[in-house]
Chains A and B, each alone.
Chain A
Amino acid sequence: VAGIELPHKQWPELIGSLLSNLPQLPAHAKQATLETLGYICEEVSPDVVDQDHVNKILTAVVQGMSSTEENDVRLAAIQALYNALGFAEANFSNDTERDYIMRIVCESTLSPDVKIRRAAFECLVAISSTYYEKLAPYIQDIFNITAKAVKEDEEPVALQAIEFWSSICDEEIDILEEYEGDFSGESDVPCFYFIKQALSFLVPMLLETLLKQEEDQDQDEGAWNIAMAGGTCLGLVARTVGDDIVPLVMPFIEENISKPDWRQREAATYAFGSILEGPSPDKLVPLVNMALNFMLTALVKDPNNHVKDTTAWTLGRMFEFLHGSAMDAPIINQANCQQIITVLLQSMKDVPNVAEKACGALYFLAQGFEDAGSASSPLTPYFEDIVQSLLAVTHREDVVESRLRTSAYEALNEVVRCSNDETAPFVVQLAPVIMVELHQTLENQVAADERQSELQGLLCGCLQVFIQKLGSSEQTKYHLMQYADHIMSLFLRVFASRSAAAHEEAMLAIGALAYATGSDFAKYMTEFYKFLESGLQNFEDYQVCAITVGVVGDVCRALEDKILPYCDGIMTQLLKDLSSNQLHRSVKPPIFSCFGDIALAIGENFEKYLLYAMPMLQGAAELSANTAGADDDMLDYTNSLRNGVLEAYSGIFQGFKGSPKTQLLLPYAPHVLQFLDSLYTEKDMDDAVTKTAIGVLGDLADTLGGNAGPLIQQSVSSKEFLKECLSSDDHLVKESAEWAKLAISRAISF
C-alpha cells in the first residue's frame, strides 16, 4: 500500500508512526516494524521519501543492528539497511554518519549468527557498487574481514565475501573503460585502484578457493560454490589489473598442474583459463604456446572429467582472446592446427559437459579464422570432418539433457560463417540437411514441448546463418534461391509452436531471407502477413515484437511499393504499439524508424498515414528534446528515441521527393526545424543522432525545395549546427552535413 500511496504524497504520517515508539517495543514488534521499513524501502523510489524520514529510518535501522538486540531484530534491521542504502546518499556523504554505518555493518560481519553475517556481507556488496567512491577509508578493514570469511566462514558467508571483490572489480572495470573511451582520461567517479593495491593479498586468497571444488559440479546447471565464485572473481581481477596478475598466478599453476590430486590439476587449469582475458597478448602468448600442447594432451588423457571440462574451456578461452587475424603472433599454425582439431573432435564424443566445452572451443577456433579471407583458412582441409562431427553431436542420445545441443549448433553456425569459396559447396549441401531436421521436428509437433521448441529455435538460427552466408555471394545465392520456398514454408510452420524463443528465431531468419530474396519475397506475403501482424501484437514477449518491427523494415526494402497492400494493417498495428503503455519502451524508437522504412518504400502513398504518424512523431520529438535531469540510461534511451523520430522524418521526406504532394509536408516543416534547433541547443546528442539530424535537414530542404527556403534560413540548424557538422571528425556526420549543405543551397537558390 505504501508503494502506491507514498509516490502520491499520501499517507505522510506512515513512517513517523512506524518509528514513533520503536525503542520501547517488544522484540517481535521491533522485528516486524523493521521488516516493514525494509519492504517500504524496497518498494518505493528514493525520491519520494524526504531526508528527514530517511534519517529516522537509518537511525532506527542502525539501532536495530546493535549487538545488544536479539538476533531476529538485528537480522531484520540489516536487511532493511540493505534496502535503504539507495536512500542514504546524503548520509554517506557525511563522514561521521558514514563512519558509523560502516562500523556497524563491519561489526555485524562478526556476529555469531550466520544469517546476520551473511546479510552484513550482502550490505557490503551493495555498498561497494552504490558508494564505491566512499570506500577508501574502510578498504583495509574490509579486506581483513572478507579474507577471514573466505578462509574460515560457512559457504553462504564466504560467497558474499568473494562477491564483494567481484563487485569492486565490476566498478573499476567500468571506470577504467570510461577512462579509455574518453580522451580527457576522466570519469564521473575516480578509480581508487583498490584491486591493484590489494592484489598481492587478494590473488593468493582467491587461488586457495579454487581447490575447494565440489564433485560433479560441472554436471549441475544450478551449482554455485566457493571455487566457482573464486575463479570468476580471479577472472575479473585479471580484467581489472591486466599484466600484473600473471606473475602472481603462474607459480600456483606450475606447482599444481601435474599433481596426482585432480583438484590441484583442475584448480591450476582453471586459474590459467581465468586470467586469459585482461593481460596483454605479449605477456600471454608465450605462456599459451608453452601450455597448448599440455592442454591438448590433458583433454584426451586426463582421467578426471572435471579436469577435462576445465581444460576444454581454457582452450576455448585461448582461442577467444589470443587467436585471430588481429594478433601479431599466431598461436595456431599449420603444424598444430591438425592436432587441435583432432583433439577437439575426439572430445566431442566425451561426456556431455566436456563435449559442450569442446564445441565452445571449436566455436572460437573458427571465429579466429572468420576474416582470414577466401580460400586461405587453415580449417579448410578439416571442414567436412568438423561439420560431420558436429552433426553427430546433435544426434547423440544424451544431447537433450544438457547445453550440449545448443553448443554444437552454435559451433556449426560459426564454422559456416567462416566458410570460404573452397568450402562453400559443403555449405550448399548442408542447408537441406538442416531443413530436413527442422521438417522432422515439425512433423512431430507438440506445441507445449519446450525441448522441441528449443530445437526448432536452434535450427531456425542455423538456417538464418546459412541464408546470410549463401546470400552473400552471387554464386551461392543461386542455390539459396532453390531452397527459398521450402525454407519459408518451414519457418511459417514454426509459428504454430507456442514458444516465443522459436518465434523470435523464425522471425529473424525470415528477415534475413527477405533481404536475400529482394522483391521475390512478395510471393510469401499473403501467408506470412498474419504472422507479421501477430508478431507486432506480441506485447508480452516484447523481443518478438522488436524483431518483427525490424523485419517490417527488411520487407519494406525488399518489396518497395509491393508492400502497399499490407501497409494499412501494419501501420494500424504500429500506431497501436506506440500508444500502448504495456509494450516495453525499447521497442518504440525502432517503430519510428520503421515509419521511415515504410514511407521510403511507398512514397507519396504514405499520405494517408501522415495525419496519424505526424502527431506521434511530434509528441515523441517534444518528449525527447528536453533531457534536464536525465541519468545515463535515460539519455541513451532519449537519444535512441530521437534517432527513431529523425529516421522517420528522413524516410517521409525522401519518400515524398519529386511527388506533387510534397506540399502536404510543408505544414510540418516548422516543427521539424524547431526540433533540430532544440537538439542543437541541448548539446547532448550522440554521433548517431547528430548524423541523422543533419541528414533530415538536407532531406527537408531537398524535398520541399524553395517552399521551405525562408524557414530553413531562419533556423539555427542551417547555420551553426551545419557548420559544426561540416568540420566533424566523424566521416558519417560530415557526409550527411555535405548532403544537407548541397540540398540547402539548392533550396535557397530556387
Chain B
Amino acid sequence: MAPHDLRRSFKRPAISDQERRRQQSLLRQSQNRRDAQHHARFLASTAFSLPSQTPELEPSFSQPEHI
C-alpha cells in the first residue's frame, strides 16, 4: 500500500487542445446527425429502392451480454 500520488495539474490549462478537438468533433457529429435526421423527416415520402450489391452477411452474433 504505497502512498497515493497527490500531484495536481500545475500551470496547465483545464483541457488540452487535443481534448478540445475531440469534443468539437463529437459536437459536429451529433449536429450533423441531427441535421440528417431532420432532413430525412421532412423529405417527401417518395419510394425508391437501392440496388443490393453486397454479399449476405454470414456471422451469427451473440446477445449483448456485456453492454
Contact = CB atoms under 8 A, between A and B. Distances in A.
Interface of A: 35, 38-39, 42, 79-80, 82-83, 118-119, 122, 125, 156, 159-160, 163, 166, 218, 223-224, 228-229, 232, 309-310, 313, 316, 320, 357, 360, 363-364, 409-410, 413-414, 457, 461, 464-465, 468, 505, 508, 511-512, 515, 547, 550, 553-554, 557, 561, 564-565, 567-568, 571-572, 575-576, 578-581, 583, 585, 588, 593, 596-597, 600, 602-605, 608-609, 612, 615-616, 619-620, 623, 641, 647, 650-651, 654-655, 657-661, 695, 698-699, 702, 739
A465 B21 contact: yes
Chain B CB within 10 Å — which of A166, A223, A554, A565 has the most? A554
Contact of B40 (A118, A413, A600): A600
Interface string B35-67: 011001101011111101111110101111111
A364 B32 CA distance: 28
Contact of A122 (B3, B9, B41, B59): B3
A404 to B, nearest CB: 13
Contacts of B62: 579
Contacts of A575: 59, 61
A557 B30 CA distance: 12
Contacts of B13: 316, 320, 360, 363-364
A42 to B, nearest CB: 7
A660 B47 contact: yes
Given A410-B16, A600-B40, A616 B33 contact: no
30 contacts: A39-B1, A79-B1, A82-B1, A83-B1, A118-B3, A119-B3, A166-B8, A316-B13, A508-B21, A508-B25, A554-B29, A557-B32, A565-B54, A568-B55, A572-B57, A578-B67, A581-B66, A583-B66, A596-B33, A603-B50, A605-B50, A608-B52, A615-B63, A620-B64, A651-B37, A654-B37, A657-B40, A658-B45, A695-B41, A739-B41
Chain A CB within 10 Å — which of B9, B41, B54 has the most? B41
Nearest to A605: B50
Interface residues of B, number: 47
Given A619-B64, A620-B64, A659-B48, 4 more contacts: A360-B13, A604-B50, A655-B40, A657-B45
A553 B47 contact: no
Nearest to A549: B29
A515 B67 contact: no
Give the dominant DSSP class at B's interface.
loop
A581 B65 contact: yes
Closest 7 CB pairs of A and B: A581-B66, A410-B17, A654-B40, A619-B64, A658-B47, A224-B7, A79-B1
A623 B8 CA distance: 37
Contacts of B37: 600, 650-651, 654, 695
Contacts of B46: 658
Contacts of A580: 66
A316 B54 CA distance: 55
A659 B64 contact: no
A711 to B, nearest CB: 19
Contacts of A224: 6-7, 10
Interface of B: 1, 3-4, 6-11, 13, 16-18, 21-22, 24-26, 28-29, 32-33, 36-37, 40-41, 43, 45-50, 52-57, 59, 61-67
A609 B8 contact: no
Given A357-B11, A657-B45, A698-B41, A619 B67 contact: yes
A604 B49 contact: yes
A550 B41 contact: no
B18 to A, nearest CB: 6
A557 B62 CA distance: 28
Given A83-B1, A512-B25, A585-B67, A608 B16 contact: no
A310 B10 CA distance: 11
Contact of B6 (A35, A159, A313): A159
B60 to A, nearest CB: 8
Contacts of B9: 232
B61 A616 contact: yes
Contacts of B18: 457, 461, 505
Nearest to B43: A657
A414 B17 contact: yes
B47 A461 contact: no
Contacts of B36: 557, 597, 600
Contacts of B45: 657-658, 702
B31 to A, nearest CB: 10
Contact of B33 (A232, A567, A576, A647): A647
Nearest to B22: A508
Contacts of B8: 166, 229, 232
A583 B64 CA distance: 12
A602 B50 contact: yes
A427 to B, nearest CB: 17
Contacts of B10: 223-224, 228, 232
A579 B61 contact: yes
A564 B28 contact: no
Nearest to B55: A568
A610 to B, nearest CB: 11
Contacts of B11: 218, 309-310, 313, 357
A561 to B, nearest CB: 5
A236 to B, nearest CB: 9
A550 B29 contact: yes
Chain A CB within 10 Å — which of B21, B61, B67 has the most? B67
B29 A511 contact: yes
A580 B63 CA distance: 10
Contact of A702 (B41, B48, B64): B41
A578 B17 contact: no
A500 B17 CA distance: 17
Contact of B57 (A228, A364, A602, A612): A612
A357 B11 CA distance: 9
A651 to B, nearest CB: 7
Given A553-B33, A602-B50, A461 B21 contact: yes
A413 B1 contact: no
A464 B32 contact: no
Nearest to B37: A650
A553 B35 CA distance: 13
Contacts of A596: 33
Contacts of B67: 578, 585, 588, 619-620, 623, 641
Contacts of A588: 67
B63 to A, nearest CB: 5
B48 A658 contact: yes
B27 to A, nearest CB: 11
Contacts of B57: 568, 571-572, 608-609, 612
B39 to A, nearest CB: 9
Contacts of A166: 8
